[in-house]
Amino acid sequence: MKCMLHRSLLLLYLAVITSSEILFLAVDLPLKGKRSPPNAIWPHPQEIQISNDLLYIRPGHIMISSNMEPCDIIAKAIQRYQPVFFPPKLTMHQPPADASNILRSLTLNVLDNPQCEQYTQYNSNETCNSVWGLLRGLETFSQLIYINEQNYVVINDSVAIIDSPRFQHRGVLLDSSRRFLPVPLIKKNLDVMAYNKLNVFHWHIVDNQSFPFESRTFPNLSRQGAFSSDHVYTPEDVTSIIEHARLLGIRVIPEIDTPGHTYSWGKSMPELITVCWANGKPYQAIYGQHGEMEILNPIEPRVHSTMDALLREVKSIFPSNYIHLGMDEVYDLCWRSNPNVSRWMTDNKINSTRDLHSYYANRILDTMRNISAITIVWQDVWDEKVELPPGTIVQIWKAGQGYNVILSSPWYINYINYGHYRTNTTIVNLEFFKYCEVEPLRDFSGSDDAKIRILGGEACLWGEFVDGTNLLARLWPKTAAVAERLWSAASVNNSEDAQFRLDVHRCRLLRRGIPAQPILNGYCGNYELSMPNSMINDPAFNYDISPATDLTTTTIKSNPATSYLFDATSSMITSIFASLLLLINITLVTISFKY
Amino acid sequence: MKCMLHRSLLLLYLAVITSSEILFLAVDLPLKGKRSPPNAIWPHPQEIQISNDLLYIRPGHIMISSNMEPCDIIAKAIQRYQPVFFPPKLTMHQPPADASNILRSLTLNVLDNPQCEQYTQYNSNETCNSVWGLLRGLETFSQLIYINEQNYVVINDSVAIIDSPRFQHRGVLLDSSRRFLPVPLIKKNLDVMAYNKLNVFHWHIVDNQSFPFESRTFPNLSRQGAFSSDHVYTPEDVTSIIEHARLLGIRVIPEIDTPGHTYSWGKSMPELITVCWANGKPYQAIYGQHGEMEILNPIEPRVHSTMDALLREVKSIFPSNYIHLGMDEVYDLCWRSNPNVSRWMTDNKINSTRDLHSYYANRILDTMRNISAITIVWQDVWDEKVELPPGTIVQIWKAGQGYNVILSSPWYINYINYGHYRTNTTIVNLEFFKYCEVEPLRDFSGSDDAKIRILGGEACLWGEFVDGTNLLARLWPKTAAVAERLWSAASVNNSEDAQFRLDVHRCRLLRRGIPAQPILNGYCGNYELSMPNSMINDPAFNYDISPATDLTTTTIKSNPATSYLFDATSSMITSIFASLLLLINITLVTISFKY
């Protein structure tokens, strides 16, 4: 926490200075560096060699085949990338009539033991010869294709990439309690996560403000705890989000945050919530200490039976095996203020609210063991020395003591800053700089042993001031900086250079219909909202306007005559191998071209 | 500047403290106050009395008549408000069959001497019995109508409003040079300005980064100075923006910023720009002092002839009579560094760069006098004691010395902050608090004489980090706080109360298809992006998706049978008077209902 605060103070101080200096935004110090090429890959691969010569691609005609084709994950990915390869509104010319250097096909093969895995898991995904690595390779391939200034679709004629993620857990937290996030918006954000090779959606689904998760076991929780009957995730909604994520190689980890943050539960089940007292009266809030009633009551038996049933239901719905239990910000002064809780503690020889918290945690961890689920908690519970089982994952900013760790504090995307950060020689977008400069193993670990316990990190967007109007622009491309930090090598850490590559990647996101906000002066074609080629509201990308394009309901076209992507009539078969080779604990993706 | 900086430091300090306290966003201090009614008017009128009883309105059927109907401004306004009164995607029931309390018509009359004015001017608009006051009254009326929980369209049966703007100049600055802003986006933003009774669009149209204004006299300025041929405002574009604004009662004031901020001019006319020297070499940038070449060369005769011709063209295009000349951030060290300029200064007995700036300013002000245009400049030129003609308007943070003043420094919307501001008893959205708490006459004037020189203010959104992806969400509803400060009485200054009214107004903007971002936890129906009733991409509001609805190209339907709004077959005529009475220097808008 201290480290975090220092960091914020420093950066905000810089922001103040910067702001006062650039009141009218004069660019008196030119940007250093040069624009990146349009096929700069984000996040940066571990190794890349790229030629200068180009191949043409006939717009809408590249034959893709795979030894995984019966696998829905690959088949749907191939279809999904159609409008990505060939954006529907852009001008694309056929190659010159005499051109022979045309790339006509792409082969996506898992070389060893091809298996159609159904759901990505923590240790299996991307670290072996699997469909997940193939998905990441396909994304890389899609970033290599571009439309040149003469409006030809082109790709370099020789590209060798060896790639693998540095960290296994690369996530985004969204908060659907403070403001409701519509299902199409969540799915669209999953798409952008996949464009950035992120693989965990941490869904902070309920909190004090609302309970939008519709439980079959306890339907009143959302019936009375959601903002309205429109602001609810039905079981079908939840399933379709999980399915959408599954096809993108993204695990969905639900967070059922207890025992604090449960005000909305009390609307239907007040018996579960501790009534806070003050001055001899119940239902009293004291500023800075506790609200009126927002913490589960650990001495209430119905709390434990409810939690047991609810977690069983959650486990049965979410295939990820992980459940985030929250356990942050438990205002123990409320427990202490309640006469019944105090008496019970005396009777049961529980001397401190920390021990009471441990008591609660142990009951809930029993359930987690019984349902074979892996626990993730926020740092607070670990700071309080609550005893946790060894496999537990702590989401926080420092490691140690044998727990696995997910970093989040440096990447609270909801915190916004204006302006540039000045290096000695140039200026860098301040927010980008802040996220890009984090080095997990340098900044957030105590001992060598602790370092290997860092599983990865998450960008967190708390929902107070975000909803459909600004969520995508607020997250992107800032979160792409986090994605690169978690995917690429530690040596990829030059933010002056990276901001130009990110600018190119931001243009790529615009072309894919994502309203990612600008990070530099300038432009990137006429793709943005309200411009002639804008894809932002294009049905090919937007689930809102055209629900029929929803991945989870799309059927795969097999007739080449009507297919957008396949060109089975081509006589000249050119192949690209996207090969996955198994190495110990890393993924090796090789894309090589021939024509 | 000092005042401005103090203010920023204070607020950012608060932001840091707040951030560290609410790391996980616990709402331990409940919001004080209660939700405002759905018809809360923004900006708050000077006087309002409202009854409790309601009238029904038949969806799509209210007869609007006006003694100004041949006037295109009123006729098009009536048509424009159709989808505002009756949003196309919302469920609206017909009144119960036995209902007699139905409001069937609205009469919009200018009582004294009705005249169809063509263009709003500084002193004529809204301060007399005119079409402009009628437009503001129609906006107020539109905010009084709402759809209740039973899905009836209703309005209170008696409303008496006396209203007038506190300041005459209520503006928004957009910067189309650092990033290009597409024409439909600018028009949409003009719509939102009108929803907030703002009346000046300050168009910072060119700057160092690009020159998107296509001049007929100097077409190469944009041909070579714009980002690309797509990133240009053609004469037709400019005319259509002016026309769109005209119909909304908004003046467009162009800013042609010189002698600094002219790097983009040099791409086509390098002869106009001062070459900066350092260490005996030309074309040298020195960090913190000057760039390579970005300031007009005042000793170059072609500068003066070009400026004369360009300003004449600008004056002929923009009917507002005002031209903003910029004159900020003139890095005089570049002038000093240039041997030719130095020699010329010696030869002409000009001792300081301040006098050189005066020399330049006087040449350009000659032109302004010759073309009868009124000058606005940024504070810098006034700080430098450059002599300006008495009618000049200075855009800055303090008044005095006989110049008229426009306030902007407290309202730089591009500066972003996260979090809440804590009062003693509750919490208020920090950014909203910052803009809302400004009191022009208290915070920004020295003497009593100076106070009456404050013409108004402008919210400025500099374009470094905004474009079509985030401009509307970034501006709204924050800029609505500025709009209220400039329109409503000084006594309307309770930000704790106002944030709930603004929350309602924000929901209203969502219903009108504007992606205004949230300022509080919670929800406001299912209007937002990606939700079933979202109007954000509805053709009725979105110029991008359906250019045919563009106000400037719409023809007025006169056949009642096909009209959405008119119900001429109704036998029972109910009338509402929106009357404008002329008082000295204030507008009095009275809306009274009968049925």
Residue B4 has pLDDT above 70, yes or no: no
Please state the rounded mean pLDDT for residues B385-392.
77
B280 vs B114, which has greater pLDDT? B280
SS3 percent helix, strand, coil of chain A, rounded to 5, is 35, 20, 45
The verdict on a CB contact (< 8 Å) between A518 and B416 is no
B445 CA to chain A: closest CA distance, Å?
Answer: 20
Q: Hey, what CATH topology would domain B47-165+495-593 get?
A: Chitobiase; domain 2 (3.30.379)
Give me the helices (H) in A145-234, please: 183-195, 220-225
Query: In chain B, which residues fall in CATH 3.20.20.80?
Result: 2-17+166-487
Task: Output the six-digit token pair for B156.
Answer: 């209170």
pLDDT under 70 in chain A at which residues?
Answer: 1-33, 124-129, 396-402, 443-452, 544-595
Is A231 within 8 Å of B526 when comparing Cβ atoms?
Answer: yes
Substitution target from B20, B186, B529 for chain A, most A beta carbons within 10 A? B529
Residues A551, B321: Cα–Cα separation, whole Å = 55
Which residues of chain B does A285 touch, with a Cβ-Cβ cutoff of 8 Å?
Answer: 28-30
Strands annotated E in A83-158: 105-110, 146-147, 153-156
B94 DSSP assignment: P
Specify the CATH number of the domain B2-17+166-487.
3.20.20.80
Residues of B whose CB is below 8 A from A260:
26
Cβ-count burial B209-238 (b if 16+ within 10 Å, e if not): bbbbbbbeebeebbeebbbeeebbbeeebb
List C-alpha distances in Å: B251 to A503, B81, B172, B242, B243.
35, 20, 11, 8, 10
How near does any CA of chain B get to the CA of A346, in Å?
A: 28
- The 10s digit of each residue's pLDDT in B458-514 is 999 999 899 999 999 999 999 999 999 999 999 998 888 898 999 999 999 999 999
Best probe of the B interface among A244, A467, A502, A536, by most B CBs < 10 A, is A467
Which distant-in-sequence residues (6+ apart) come within 8 Å of B348 by Cβ? none
Q: Which residues contact B155 (CB under 8 A, 6 or more apart)?
A: B39, B54, B55, B57, B103, B144, B145, B146, B593
Contact B104, B574 (CB under 8 A): yes
Which residue of A8, A231, A543 is in closest CB contact with B16?
A8
Inter-chain residue contact B418 with A416, CB threshold 8 Å: yes
CA angle (B201 as vertex; B199, B204 as ends), nearest 5: 160
Search chain B and give the residue with CA nearest A425: B287
Of B185, B378, B520, which is closest to A529 when you measure between CB atoms? Answer: B185
Name the β-bridge partners of A146: A154
Q: How far is residue B562's CA from residue B342's CA, in Å, rounded to a whole number?
A: 71
Instruction: Give yes or no for residue B92 having a pLDDT over 50.
Output: yes
Task: Describe the strand order of the beta sheet including B54-57 as a list of residue ranges.
Answer: B54-57, B153-156, B146-147
**Residue A131 CA to chain centroid, in angstroms?**
19
pLDDT in tens, A265-321: 999 999 999 999 999 999 998 877 888 899 999 999 999 999 999 999 999 999 999
Q: What ipTM score was computed for the predicted complex, to two decimals? A: 0.86
CA angle A548, A553, A558 (to 5 degrees): 95
Chain A: give the shortest CA distance to residue B392, in Å. 20
More confident position, B560 or A348? A348
Cross-chain residue pair B529–A228, CB shorter than 8 Å? no
Residues spanned by CATH 3.30.379.10 within chain A? 47-165+495-512+525-533+565-593
Nearest CB to B521 within list A12, A209, A228: A209
* CA–CA gap between residue A171 and residue A486 (Å, rounded): 9
Determine contact, residues A103/A593, Cβ cutoff 8 Å.
yes
Rounded Cα–Cα distance for residues B352 and A149 (Å): 48
pLDDT of residue B569: 28
Range(s) for CATH 3.20.20.80 in chain A? 2-17+167-487
Contact B518 A417 (CB under 8 A): no
- For residue B271, what is the DSSP state? G
Cα A331 off chain centre by: 29
B212 compared with B562, residue with greater pLDDT = B212
| CB contact at 8 A, A60 and A564 | yes
Catalytic residue among B329, B387, B439, B464: B329
For residue A401, the model assigns a pLDDT of 56
Searching chain B, which residue's CA lies closest to the CA of residue A429? Answer: B465
Question: Strand B295-296 relative to strand B273-274: parallel, antiparallel, unpaired?
Answer: antiparallel
Residue A527's SS3 state is coil
Task: Give A580→chain B minimum CA distance, Å.
Answer: 37
**DSSP codes of every residue in A410-450:** GGBTTS---SEEE-SS-EEEHHHHHHHT--HHHHS-SSHHH
Residues near B246 by Cβ (< 8 Å), separated by ≥ 6?
A: B73, B118, B119, B120, B319
Task: Give dist(CA B304, CA B584) in Å, integer.
Answer: 42
> Hey, are the CB atoms on A28 and B331 less than 8 Å from each other?
yes
pLDDT tens-digit series, residues B312-353? 999 999 999 999 999 887 878 899 999 999 999 999 999 999
Cβ contact, residue pair A24, B285, below 8 Å: no
B513: left (phi over 0), alpha (psi -120 to 50) or beta: left
Instruction: Report the 10 Å Cβ neighbour count for A79.
Output: 18
- The answer to whether residue B577 scores a pLDDT higher than 70 is no
Query: How many contacts, defined by CB atoms under 8 Å, are there between A and B?
Result: 243
The structural architecture, per CATH, of the domain A2-17+167-487 is: Alpha-Beta Barrel (3.20)
**Other CB atoms within 10 A of residue A530 CB:** 24
Q: What is the distance between the alpha carbons of residues A185 and A164, in angstroms, rounded to a whole number?
A: 29
Q: Which pair of tokens denotes residue A373?
A: 């689920």
pLDDT band at B367 (very low <50, low <70, confident <90, very high): very high
DSSP reduced 3-state for B448 = helix
Can B439 be counted among the known catalytic residues? no
CA distance B357 to B363: 10
> What pLDDT is recorded for position B98?
92
Contacts of B537 in chain A (CB under 8 A): 537, 544-545
**Considering CB atoms only, which of B25, B415, B529 is closest to A185?**
B529
Residue B141 pLDDT > 80: yes
Q: Which range is least confidently modeled, A8-17, B305-314, B395-404?
A: A8-17
Using CB atoms within 10 A of its CB, is residue A532 exposed (0-12), middle (13-18) or buried (19+)? exposed
Helix B235-247 vs helix B183-195: angle between axes, to the nearest 10 degrees? Answer: 10
Radius of gyration of chain B (CA): 25
* Alpha helices (runs of H) in B22-101, residue ranges in sequence order: 72-80, 82-85
Q: CA B354, B359, B364 angle in degrees (round to 5)?
A: 125
**Digit-coded pLDDT (tens) for B230-282:** 999 999 999 999 999 999 999 999 999 999 999 999 999 999 999 999 999 99
Residue-wise pLDDT for B53-63, tens only, equals 899 999 988 88
- Predicted local distance difference test score (pLDDT) of residue B473: 96
Other beta carbons within 10 angstroms of residue A553's beta carbon come to 10
Q: What is the pLDDT of residue A109?
A: 79
Name the residue facing A530 among B185, B289, B525 (closest C-beta). Answer: B185
Give per-residue burial for A86-119: e unless 16+ CB within 10 Å, then b.
bbebbeeeebeeeeeebbbbbbbebeeebeebeb
Q: State the pLDDT at residue B573.
A: 27
CB contact under 8 A, A418 and B418: no
Mean predicted confidence (pLDDT) in B158-177: 91
Q: Which of A24, A291, A520 is the closest to B28 by Cβ?
A: A291
Domain A47-165+495-512+525-533+565-593: give its CATH code. Answer: 3.30.379.10
pLDDT at B10: 27
Diameter over CA atoms, chain A: 91
Q: Could you tell me if B502 and B42 are in contact, meaning their C-beta atoms sit under 8 angstroms apart? A: yes
- When pLDDT is averaged across residues B8-22 and rounded to a whole number, the result is 27
